[in-house]
Amino acid sequence: MDFLPITKQDMDRRGWDAPDFVYVNGDAYVDHPSFGAAIITRVLEHAGYRVAFLAQPDWHSKADFMRFGRPKYGFFVSSGNIDSMVAHYTAAKKRRHDDAYTPGGKTGARPDRAVIVYCNRIREAYGDIPIIIGGLEASLRRFAHYDYWDDKIRRSILFDAQADLISYGMGEKQTVEIADRLAKGEPVSALRDIRGTCYACDVRETPLAGAECPSFEQVCESKEKYALSCRIQQDEQDHIRGRLIRQRHGTKMLVQNPPMPPLTTEELDAVYALPYMRTYHPSYDAIGKVPGIEEVRFSITHNRGCFGACNFCSIALHQGRFISTRSKESILKEAKLLTTLPDFKGYINDIGGPTANFRRTSCDKQLKAGLCKGKKCLAPKACPALIADHSDYIDLLRAVRSLPMVKKVFIRSGIRYDYMLKDKDDTFFRELVKYHVSGQLKVAPEHCSAMVLDKMGKPHIDAYIAFSKKYFELSGQVHKEQYLVPYLMSSHPGSTLKEAVELALFLKKRHIRPEQVQDFYPTPGTISTCMFYTGLDPYTMEPVYVAKSPQEKAMQRALLQYYLPQNHDLVEQALRRCGRYDLIGTGPQCLVRPSPKAAARPGAKGQSKGGGKAYAGAKGKQKRR
């Protein structure tokens, strides 16, 4: 067992005259199943192909892309675990100072829009060699899409990258089918019938079946057309009922074939049993470890997909909403393997996935009919057909925590507390609190306003309140002082300053002081990003308020941390703009004291007075009271 070749010398030592495929990746080479590049390359290797790994190549010329010589069949290209623009820039479009997927955490190892840059260099080097793009960046940019950083509509990444195919979604099955057919001598231009892929053709060759989105030109001209296009794309991302989708770009037609069915339990088990080295390449030792491996090195992925489908999350368009799971035996095998690693201290950091506590489909109907079109399983209220059952997950967790070398099993990836509350058997809730919380549990209520939560595709706040009450009750029963750390989001479409003030008051009332809050980040391919760009809800076509000015976004964010001295002026400004002078003062209900200058102004009248004392609480956490 060894790493794949990363240099010509590595390849020569294996006796290869040339690789079958070169996999180009914007991240450092980490051979761990939490990294998509590791999975795809090991799957290709298992299928019998010689794969060379080109990690973070020098993109300033074509030279580094010729490191291994011309591959026999072609290139697979990915920007890495996340979109390169998200990796490089904050929600405020400021350059990030570190990069978790680069040795030493340093920035600058990949270009902006890495997939496009890499593919263009490959074209310079090898002309018409087959290029297949995949991973999150390619998958979520497969249609004409709003780009937050350019603040405009960009065409499908397939055209700008000059690639032949997009492999969207998780990609294992279509990757092997593409490789097998290229190896049999089929030209890449003939690979137009593979599920889970997109290709481009002349408009005269357009398939007649399926659904057609408004064209690139139409979505550039009309926000209504863009919203319609977004809805069609979301509605057809189901492997059972999803149809082929077409979208014209000038004289070319982008064609998305229906989604590839998710891996079965047996197939997932086989993928996770492949011979991963489970760490970063040793060539990085001299320049610093890859920080991104630390959180997942002793974690286990047990599922894929998420029927929660929050509107701001890309999982529904990438992995899909259908839940697929690994077997208990597969999980136990990996857990035992983790106990043999030299740095294992007895703690498994996570047994989770996109949503940790999903071990089955949300209902039985979707096994034959697919997930419901235009509806959500959990929001705004749980569907009557929902089957909330944690019994299999409980059995899995019990088996892993009983292993001899395992001291503790934590659950750190997201849980859906609204789903937990629908389970009539609270055994999982009790065991979560007793065995699987490391002092604090992170959950994602995101907001408290029903209107904003509806636009987020999240349950209403009463679910979080009920969950938190029971969480602290059960923690008390097992004599543990444990906390909740709520994830909160400011400036999501639908949130005005009024809703931001409402959230600040909710936090104050419940003595929650978040250490971190997240500004809404309009990433490609989500329903929320569509709302941000168009100001329309794509499912109702009704107007949605969008905070876009840096000043208002800063005020909304500051309100969530109203207690910080550095936020005082922004919070006071927001309250005055809302006419909420009653919240400026010294009374117990007030959010901030009046500034000396503001107090002298005529507009300062009506402030509350009193001697309210601030509650220090548990910093950044909700504490049981």
List, in sequence order, every residue forming a beta bridge with 440; answer none if it has no partner: 483
Q: Which of 438, 460, 493 is the last residue of a domain?
A: 438
Same domain, 38 and 64: yes
- For residues 558 and 570, is the Cβ–Cβ distance under 8 A? yes
Identify the domain boundary among 140, 174, 200.
200
Nearest to 380 by CA among 306, 305, 450, 444: 450
Q: Which of 375, 618, 265, 282 is nearest to 475 (CA)?
A: 618
Q: Would you say residue 232 lies in a domain?
A: no
Task: Write down the pLDDT at residue 598.
Answer: 56
pLDDT digits (tens, 9 = 90+) for 373-408: 999 999 999 999 999 999 999 999 999 999 999 999
Whether the per-residue pLDDT at 611 is higher than 90: the answer is: no
Instruction: Give which of 441, 449, 448 is closest to 470, Cα–Cα.
Output: 441
Residue 525 domain-assigned (yes or no): yes
Among candidate residues 465, 457, 455, the one with its CA nearest the CA of residue 486:
465
Together in a domain, 385 and 420: yes
**Residue 210 placed within a domain:** no
Question: By residue range, what is the domain housing residue 315?
Answer: 298-438
**What angle, rounded to 10 degrees, do the helices at 497-509 and 568-578 form?**
120
Look up residue 173 and give its two tokens. Answer: 């099955």
Q: Are 577 and 613 part of one and the same domain?
A: yes
How buried is 342 (Cβ within 10 angstroms: 0-12 exposed, 13-18 middle, 19+ buried)?
A: exposed
Query: What is d(CA 224, CA 240) in angstroms, rounded to the nearest whole number?
Result: 28
What are 153-176's pLDDT values in tens digits?
999 999 999 999 999 999 999 999
How does pLDDT run across 264-301, given as a tens digit for each residue? 999 999 999 999 999 999 999 999 999 999 989 999 99
What per-residue confidence (pLDDT) applies to 619? 41
Same-domain pairing of 421 and 446: no
∠ CA 71-72-77, nearest 5°, is: 45
Tokens of 324: 């697929």
213 secondary structure, DSSP code = P
**Are 490 and 560 part of one and the same domain?**
yes
How many domains are contained in the chain? 3
User: How would residue 263 be classed by pLDDT, with cut points 50, 70 and 90?
Assistant: very high
Query: Token digits for 351?
Result: 């047994």
Give me the CATH number covering residue 577. 3.30.750.200
Q: What is the pLDDT of residue 597?
A: 67
Residue 141 domain flag: yes
Its pTM surpasses 0.75: yes
Share of the chain above pLDDT 90, in %: 93
Question: Does any domain span residue 405?
Answer: yes
Query: Diameter of the chain by CA atoms?
Result: 83
What residue type is 519 in one-letter code? D
pLDDT average, residue stretch 103-132: 97
Which one, of 135, 162, 461, 488, lies nearest residue 318 by Cα?
Answer: 135
Length of the chain counted residue by residue: 625
For residues 109-136, average pLDDT: 98
215, part of any domain: no
Helix axes 36-46, 265-272, angle to 10 degrees: 100
> Do the domain assignments include residue 146?
yes
**Mean pLDDT for the chain overall:** 94
Domain co-membership, 14 together with 149:
yes
